[in-house]
Structure 1
Amino acid sequence: MAKKYVILDTETTGIGENDRIIQLGFMVLGAKEIEVHNEFYSSEVDISFEAMEVHGITPDMLEGKPSCVDSQAYRRLGELNLEENYLIIHNADFDIGMLEKEGFVNKMRVIDTLRVAKHVLPDEESHRLQYFRYKMGLYKEEQKEADKLGIVVKAHDAIGDVLILKLFLSKLKDVVTSTFVGENPVEKMVELTQTPIFEHYFRFGKYRGKALKEVAISDAAYLRWMLKNMENLDEDMRYSINKVLET
């Protein structure tokens, strides 16, 4: 059976612990024809106004819709959930975490394009998908691709973002290929997804914009305090602080 590549995005009622999926969009590559799935779902959790501001999904758009687990797209995702397939997401932890609330336990190999981009394009001002949409000129190609697949392009819409992600993936694969010559770029992206990222600079707090290596020299005690007291410290930042304290 040919390997399948599932490019996926969700829209949700918010980003809190109790929030749920209200739109699931994904594209399946690996066969002659590309499968496109895009569905809206009802939810017992109200959509926050902050979420509406981002994705534009309002309660009236969800009236009469099934729940996520009762949908055709969710069932198809379950059929695709095999170890030989690949799940491709920008900021995978968030979307996979949301799917887990719906009972989905991922078995696919994960490529997180956000993490891969941070590894191979470390000097970019941002690693958001919409940033790359403009920086890499993806917006010039998206309408032609959308017409071919019958997709309506909208920013911060699940299937619209999946389309952008498909275009971005192709560019990212080229960067990985040229950076890691002789290695399989798909397998390398899986590996990079699982590899800690060294954060060179603080992006928050009193040392925002300062190099970690500088702070390790001038205020190592603060870095040790962060490791001990900040339970929600990002794993990549925790890794990076430990690395600079070792040197």
Structure 2
Amino acid sequence: MTTYILDTETTGLVEPHMTEAAYSIIEVNNGKIEVTQAPRSKRFNPLKPISLGSMATSHICDEDVAQEPPHTEFRLPSSVQYLVGHNIDFDMAVLKNAGVTHTPKLICTKAMSSYLLPTLESHKLVSLLYYFHRQVAREQAKHAHAAIYDIYFTQLVLGSLIELANSQGHNITDVESLYQFSEMARIPTHLSFGKYKGQAIKELAATSDGAGYLKWLLTQDSIDPYLAQACQQALDA
């Protein structure tokens, strides 16, 4: 059983192809992170143009990766059972666009931070780094969006989130309990869009108009599966 912290840099948000991937291997023992392999990174030719927005974010340009191996050569070992990342679903989509078929269990630090710190102004990775590790952020945040640095930042934030979760009565001791907590944290308690934006899903389900809206959401093909779970649970309660 192997656990990766993974980060990718890409061509953009639309059908993203990988320009860089970085990972480290960790273990979670008694609620503490142990790094068993230091971060490694590799650049890839995405086989499509990099958007200006992505260039401005990652500082990787088309000419920087023109001679690198194609992104379709990226492989995720079958031994990897867990992938950890900040908005890891996006990275998993990038891997699938490269042809990766192996799908580990996904652990999302963004979902965890939103659940544990719901009133925090921002749940971006660097914002969380400033929140938990101010001195590291002051010294190294300028390297954000270089994939190998984002691995290190995610590792630090993950450790702090585990400590915070356990201080609030959760019981994260190993990677499977971390995964279970991440899955629970993904289920939203409030709507983040639409006519009922900001309202509690549980409270909406108790009114006829609100329940009707939740039922309508459940008929939409594009509904997020975790939102669908939250709506169904509220309607069944």
Normalised by the size of structure 1, how large is the TM-score? 0.77
Query: What corresponds to 2:209 in structure 1?
Result: 219
Q: 1:179 to 1:27 in 2, by over 3 A?
A: same
Q: Which residue of 2 aligns with 1:157?
A: 146
1:130-149 CA distances to partner (integer Å, 9 max, x unpaired)?
2211222x2412587x7xxx
- Asked if 1 retains the 8 angstrom alpha-carbon contact of 2:25 and 2:35, the reply is no
Q: Give the match's secondary structure for 1:88.
A: strand
1:241 match: 231
Q: Say whether the 8 Å CA contact 1:7–1:87 is kept in structure 2.
A: yes
Q: Which residue pairs with 1:23 in the alignment? A: 20
Helix, strand or coil for the counterpart of 1:57?
A: coil
Aligned-residue CA RMSD (Å): 3.0
Deviation at 1:21, TM superposition (A): 0.6
Which residue of structure 2 lines up, in the alignment, with residue 149 of structure 1?
none
Aligned counterpart, 2:31: none
Amino acid of the residue matched to residue 91 of structure 1? Answer: N
Alignment match, 2:180: 191
Quick one: percent identity of the two aligned structures?
Answer: 27
Cα distance in 1 for residues equivalent to 2:155 and 2:185: 24
Report SS of the residue matched to 1:24.
strand
The question of 1:112 aligning with 2:108 is answered yes
Q: Does 2:14 correspond to 1:13?
A: no
**Does structure 2 conserve the Cα–Cα contact (< 8 Å) formed by 1:89 and 1:111?**
yes
What displacement does 1:233 show? 1.4
Which structure is higher in strand share? 2
CA 1:116 to 1:185, structure 2 compared with 1: closer, same or farther past 3 Å? Answer: farther
Q: How many pairs are equivalent?
A: 229
| Deviation of 1:33 (Å) | 6.7
- Structure number with higher relative contact order (C-alpha < 8 Å, ≥ 6 residues apart): 2
The range that moved more, 209-218 or 233-242, is 209-218
CA distance in structure 1 between the aligned counterparts of 2:182 and 2:215, rounded to whole angstroms: 27
Query: Which aligned pairs between 1:119-198 and structure 2 lie closer than 5 A?
Result: 119-136=115-132, 138-141=133-136, 154-180=143-169, 184-195=173-184, 197-198=186-187
Q: Which amino acid aligns with 1:161?
A: D
Task: Write the distance in 2 (CA, Å) between the matches of 1:209 and 1:141.
Answer: 33
Contact 1:82 1:108 in 2 (8 A): no
TM-score by length of 2: 0.80
> What residue in structure 1 maps to residue 30 of structure 2?
none
Cα drift, residue 44 of structure 1: 1.5
Contact 2:89 2:106 in 1 (8 A): no
Q: Aligned pair 1:65/2:60, yes or no? A: no
Runs of 5+ unmatched residues, structure 2 = 28-33
| CA–CA distance in structure 1, aligned partners of residues 5 and 180 of structure 2 | 18
SS in 1 for 2:143: coil
SS in structure 1 of the partner of residue 123 of structure 2: coil
Supply the AA of the counterpart residue of 2:164.
V
Partner of 2:58: 55
Query: 1:8: Cα distance to partner?
Result: 1.2
Give the Å deviation of 1:196: 6.5
Question: What are the Cα deviations for residues 22-79 of structure 1, in whole angstroms up to 9, with x where unaligned?
Answer: 1111123468874331222112211122323332322122232222354xxx46x53x
User: Closer, same or farther in 2 for the Cα pair 1:218/1:130, shift >3 Å?
Assistant: farther
Closer, same or farther in 2 for the Cα pair 1:179/1:106, shift >3 Å?
Answer: farther
Task: Return 5+ residue gaps in structure 1 as ranges.
Answer: 147-151
- Whether contact under 8 Å (1:119, 1:192) holds in the other structure is no
